[in-house]
Amino acid sequence: MTIPGTAVPHLVRTHDNVFWFDGAAEGRLLVQRCTDCETLRHPPAPSCPRCRSFDWDSVESSRQGTLHSWTVVHHPQDPAFTYPLLVGLVDLDTGTRLVADFEPTDHDALAVGCPVEVYFAEHAHGEILPRLRLRPGHGESDVTQQGVS
């Protein structure tokens, strides 16, 4: 599905990130791992930030994490998105972070530390990308109410 009038660019696939986009298309959240020091890294990059090795493979990441921060986007509006658009920064249980759009959610329900999960959905040009949603049954009283809006 291509959305007419969208300014969203097409994905740029490189040697370093094609595995990630291919994994997303299969419903898998993959993370680069340095094969020399085993450091996990996201977003994908040519070399390890810890040991500078260019050798890597990928591992499947947990789709579970906690909300580190978020923002509420109102403008500029694009037909590819539902507004207000929530964008979250998630600390994945596997130790890396991911930035992704939330499914339509009341932003008052978000809190730093609340449990979230990653799922996959079609995006502006028919690509499949990760999205975020609150995990069912999370207790908001257990987390600090903070955020960026």
Q: DSSP letters along 118-135, please?
A: EEEEE-TBS-EEEEEEEP
SS3 letters across 4-43: CCCCCCCCCCCCCCHHHHHHHHCCCCEEEEECCCCCEECC
What's this model's pTM, rounded to 2 decimal places?
Answer: 0.85
Q: Is the Cβ–Cβ distance between 92 and 62 less than 8 Å?
A: yes
Q: Could you tell me which residues are beta bridge partners of residue 116?
A: 65, 134
Pair of tokens at residue 149: 């809006």
> So what's the pLDDT on residue 141?
39
pLDDT at position 142 is: 41
Between 138 and 110, name the one with better pLDDT: 110
Mean pLDDT of 105-128: 93
